Structure 1
Amino acid sequence: MRKHILTPLLALLLVFSLIVLPVSAETTSNERVINTQGTGTITTTPDRVEISVAVMTEHADVRAAQRENAVKMNTVMNALKNAGITSDDIKTTGYSIYQVTKDGSSVFPTERQAQVYRVTNTLMITLKDTTKAGDIIDIAIENGANNVNYISFTLSDEKQASFRAEALKEAVAQSRSDADVVAASLGLSVRDVKEVTIGGGYYPTSARYDSMMYAAGMEKAATPIEAGEVTVSATVSITYLC
């Protein structure tokens, strides 16, 4: 009795599969698409600069190295604040203590190496006026900083978002223009958009800076720093239906 019930069901499922599958295949084969990519690039002047400076001290006594470092870093931070840098624009980005081996001045080989503790405190300074970068570097070095790690010119979040939007519009326009040209060459026309993928990014410029301690009696010269330009770019990959 059960065999007579299952057989009609199997036959019915087979009929549905024969009807549905060819329709799906026909729709896919008749879908005409054009894939294009577009790139938009906006070049502008940066309105932010980030400067990484550090105070490094060494001593055979780790506590002495820490105390000396703290005194120097406090002097640096006070000098920066006196120059108009707010607390919101100064933040500690690194602090390390480790033991290093240094060559001593003894004439005896067994005494030529000495173990000292090196303490490094790293500070990030953010400026809204890029023309002051050189002055701030000089102030930091003159007041105890003995390492400038890097300088990075960037854009504020507001400007980055604005220029990113412009770059995306430019990328989409380029992509659509290419699609229209290709479609017309084939005797077709773009009728809709099937898929969009957004890529690209924002690339700030950066410059390395090799700091040098001012020797006694050495004339101090202002540090020249040029902001240059930054580029905001965006890419899109669009699939059009024809």
Structure 2
Amino acid sequence: MSYLTRKITLMAAVIMVLCALCFAPVTAQTGVSPDVKTISTSATGEVLATPDRADVYLGVQTENADVMTAQQENAQIMNKVVDAILATGVPKENIQTTGYSVYPVYDQSSNLFGQKVKYYQVTNTVQVTLTDVGMTGAVIDAAIAAGANQVQNIAFSLSPEKEQSLRNEVLTEAVTRTRADADAVAAALGVTIIGVQDATVGSYYPPVMYRSVNAGAADMSAAVPTPVEPGQVTVSATVSVNYLIN
């Protein structure tokens, strides 16, 4: 047999083996039978809850033609504000600086190419975290009385412990609803639910409610206590389940 004949024979044998592999039945599967039948349902569980945490954002803003004077005045007032907040019983670790800025305000009547600084505006902002929501109004009043002239907003939320407890509750409710829906569909189709193939929990976002305080410093320093009502937040969770049927 010539060299060319042997080479052609070898190539033909290789092609036959490859064809056999390509058309051979697959015996190893991923574990999911093509005969598996499911009913897919999705439901959301919800519960209303009263926030047990409040974050109050307070600020002191000062203005002066001399930047150092504006900064010193701001620091003196903010120190008094922090002391007043501490006096209400708020722990020091619950008071955090969230912003500090020095902004030059220019004289608009001056030459466009030679603008002069009219004065400097210094702003210092702190975040006060309260674990007793009922103290929110008292803390605002104490800060204003001490010299704070900005109350930017109030964020009401749930403590991690309360949030987790409620999340477990709404997840259980969501699963109960998915099963009720699946049972109704199975009964209508004349089939029986025999198990669960898989379940998926949807995205979750911590509930936060914001309140704006629009009153001016003169109004907020009045003798009447500042009323602050937290309202309620909604805790929700969505669950999708694939139920196996016979």
**TM-score, normalised on structure 1?**
0.85
- Residue 119 (structure 1) aligned with residue 126 (structure 2): no
Query: What are structure 2's unaligned runs of at least 5 residues?
Result: 1-5
- Residue 59 (structure 1) aligned with residue 64 (structure 2): yes
Contact 1:202-1:233 within 8 A present in 2 as well = no
Match of 1:179 in 2: 182
Q: 3-state DSSP class of the match of 1:58?
A: strand
Cα offset, 1:205, TM superposition = 2.0
Contact 2:95-2:126 within 8 A present in 1 as well = yes
Q: 3-state DSSP class of the match of 1:201?
A: coil
Contact 2:47-2:166 within 8 A present in 1 as well = yes
Equivalent pairs, count: 234
Contact 1:214-1:220 within 8 A present in 2 as well = no
Cα offset, 1:180, TM superposition = 2.1
Match of 2:3 in 1: none
- Residue 79 (structure 1) aligned with residue 84 (structure 2): yes
- Residue 229 (structure 1) aligned with residue 232 (structure 2): yes
Q: Which segment is superposed worse, 138-147 or 171-180? A: 171-180
Match of 1:106 in 2: none
- Show the 5 A alignment for 1:9-28: 9-20=14-25
Cα offset, 1:142, TM superposition = 0.8
Cα offset, 1:157, TM superposition = 0.7
**TM-score, normalised on structure 2?**
0.84
Q: 3-state DSSP class of the match of 1:20?
A: coil
Cα offset, 1:22, TM superposition = 10
Cα distance between partner residues in 1 of 2:7 and 2:41: 58
Cα offset, 1:80, TM superposition = 0.9
Match of 2:37 in 1: 32
- The counterpart of 1:207, out of the listed 202, 211, 216, is 211
Please tell me whether Structure 1 or Structure 2 has the larger radius of gyration of its CA atoms. Answer: 2
Letter in 2 for 1:149: Q
Cα distance between partner residues in 1 of 2:142 and 2:117: 33
CA distances 1:12-61 after superposition (whole Å, capped 9, x unpaired): 3333432336997xx77533232211101121221111111111111122
Q: 3-state DSSP class of the match of 1:145?
A: coil
